[in-house]
Structure 1
């Protein structure tokens, strides 16, 4: 090592009483690499992985050949060794030099010179996309290129850089002789050129690199501060990288446990990165997005935060699969949308407070995804969203912030025009198909998580490209036509096998077969059911109709979620909700489910007592605060349909219910009821909406009058001794009189 200049002293603002001293020295590439091999130069755990592209390694060698400067290194000699990469039990014999800056350069040179991975990495850490050891060198032109068999296999001028830098592995004289014999060139002149270029490449090992040394008595915090300052002004480390370095300095296991968790989640289909986990830690520990807040977090808080984050991630992934129809990170155009959700969970005992909170956050998540909430300044948006969680109504604040910044989440058909599958609205369409229960068009499999490469989900063209090309629909230079061929409205998710089965057929041929195999399936995919649009001549009309169906489906789904996130405390709120939204709430004071109107499911016969059960609920709603009775839904909230009641038509069913209400409760009470048949999850249900009555409603049963009210999610009969007081207070009291006057 040679001495270059005098030392310089600079006070560190983090500790004004300490002045760090830099010794600017130089050492050869050969010497530095030998120190790495002998573990005299080590890499701290807080350093990031080898991330250089192969082109950067090639350019580094080229710069050394040309004599261009490649920047200085930063080393810190210390006996107080921090946690090291790939050396958990390293016991130094005296002081070692910790590599603070320059590891990308030295790692590339080590692999090219030693034909091995440096000790601070394992082979698994160096992926093929970064490993530079296939770099080749043209001994005649000094050109550097990665191996290409067709060009280099029979050209002896091209030699491996690794072989050149190994003693005795390349013989310029033998190469000269081979070229001279086949091409008839002057052997003496060629040998001089090849030998000079060979020695020039080998000579890069003797080049001295400038090294800045941090004063030996610097602490880890001082060295880390220097590392941060150097990287801010030089190598473009991100703020997340620097935050991770600070975390590793406090808790040495940070990077290791992060990488282990990332590998585990990747195996479950959820691919995150270190930056995501750093943001997650900040959201859980500090409720913030600004990285510098993490710098001073002590070890115990980091460990506690990680234990919480690990639990929350597992909970959130299960929630996404179970409730959001999101089965992998491929379904998310950005994982950043999960950070505020983690922040919310961390502030609420690691769980959603209730069903309203779940639906509210789902509404926000979907809207944030397809409105591309984090396509710009991610950290600025995350800071705003995490700040919104501090409000008294955090989810409402999140939604209000999103609307203020991104506008209304309502989707118009025009938003889908010419949009391709890379747009997040495609993912939203796919989520809706899953929710509606759509199955593969060929094999009938659910489009959730099919196993095996033959059943992987692909983005199928409804009108195949080849079919459109045959009729002159331009898929070449005409940009608009090309986009319309590939737009969302012409795409559906199908398994690979299903895609191949109908690869080249026009939709007019195969869509009728799809519908016949699974009636209703096309509607679940939001396919226009007018068969005239399935012809090639009507392609533009098909697109227009399907855009409308997709947009309406998304808006209805989002509207249901939004209604779900509001309280179901009064009949007015429940009356506006769709059956799908109501089912997710479960039975309550204002909501009840009945499997049938008159059919006894277990006895398998008509039964007037079954009718009586529905009438009791209606009377109770009339006498309390109103509500909704859904007939055709079992106690678990699963739609069963209306077929079991064996009416000739839905009109006959509603007429029958109207007649028994008039007969047993009273004709005058029909003005408080609204009957309709609606579809939910592929089944039809009878919805009976009940407004609260302004007068008491008695139910006649076996020639006796009974008085029912709602008490929580059940119907109760009041004894005669309590009926008078209830009627006086509920119907004729001061509060009730005000209610009656507005009805």
Structure 2
């Protein structure tokens, strides 16, 4: 065995130089480069954080072996190849390093464009590692930055492609960065102490950054095992097979269980007690999810490194604003750990209940959960809202819903979920406090949802397929035989046009979500069976009131136009295409109305009440404005300061959405009052300054407040799709009558 392996290590600088010279090649039996852009980002972050990234397995090459294994260069390699080693294990890591540090300009696998990686120097030095590294899909903004070093210096952005130049090349870049900020410091006004201090920090940061890069090149080592070139090729292939099929990883839960046992915390036993109630989806991962929710709530982050700080007494080093360091303990003792564990278990249980709710998120069983990996972030933010003393919880819940659907439809939780969960938790907290801090994922969803391709992409089992199925449930999809809401535990995912119809023509679109809908097993398998819609739909119309049948089909997001297509006889492949296109349009509209605008379908009686409430809101606006005068001066004088501050933010947000608007469009009291919340009408009327104007009409301030509460409760129940209780309806109707009597 003496020639089988030799343990070695290589520092990063040498490895980059070897990659540049083309010393590493890949055998044909290796899989393609399969990582996603965020996986590359995660590896780069690990290197800069001085983490172990695993051991490479290399085979010292020979011309004969290169030919036998049909070896090829690393993906994206540019230049003349000088092969020295065949990569047996570590191809993904080495290719990731090459792509990030060399920026080959070749499109990222399965992407249309190249991807460029950057790091933010300030965030790196502040040890904000999750935010310090990012990538861009060659947008115009970052392409310009990549071509302009002054822009890089100005924004503190270090292109990771500079790493290919080694110590000398990166040293030149850092010198340019330091000189840029030295020049800025020398030219700033002497009186501007704030900027001088800031620029001085950037000059100092250049030196710190230089030390980090030099240390990385010379002292960060990657370990590897080198197989001798004379080993028989059959043995090499066997070694490779063993590595890729029989490795068993010890996960973080097992490690923490071992660490916690001496502290008399028996994690496996605690998990067994919670397991039965958390069996909804991904039960093997749910035990990790509990720890991640604990970690997010305590310190935002939830990757494996941060889970160790959940150990009682574990000290965590943090950097304070003055750049000094401090040590803190998040979990002081065993009892606190158990309390945090129970809190996390409860949060996940509530999240599962919410996800399963057919009127909330529609994931009626585990098969239709779009992304189980979103559960830790979802549970943590729900727990935060529940425990907070915020008065705007309805607004918070609405924002959580928008974030959830945005994350699903942008495939946000397909990978790197730990860092994304941490970022989303923090972004949502900011958004709760400031309407202008809308997370980027929300903006992306709003701008791209109309381009979702349900015809060619998103097959069964994908997140978006499941999300559309959830939407059918939320929309109240009724059974096609009983015309009632089905038993959700046993629904079938039914083909509207049978899959067998175009079997010989190989039509993959027939299995897409556009041709699927939830029905009871009895209806699907015994009543509809394998028949065409022009048969079973015709029976539905022949035997029932036609408008009611249309209403039932509309609950499945099948429009009247789509019905007319399904009833065509004969029904051809062209008819199927017409139906799928029409249903896609209907589904996209439903995404806009129900998930983005949150319009809801309510009974006619409640719609009438909602219209009456809206009429009262309009009358209250006019009543308030007419009590003073319709001018900006009157608005400023009579509107409490805290309301003015909120209205100003809402108007600024409106102007950003509609650039054609200006301050002149909001000059009058009647224009600004349009941006009041319902209860803010009460606040302005009941204020000490204004009450004398309104007391003759409303008599009693306490009664006015009670009526506003009753009206607001009914309004919010209707508009947020909550069940309206008999008491809420009775009180709301009484408030409507009371306001009508006064406002006339």
Indicate the TM-score class for this superposition, using the shorter chain for normalisation.
0.3 to 0.5
**Larger proportion of helix:** 2
TM-score (norm 2): 0.43
TM-score under structure 1 length normalisation: 0.43
Higher Cα radius of gyration: 1
* Larger strand fraction of residues: 1
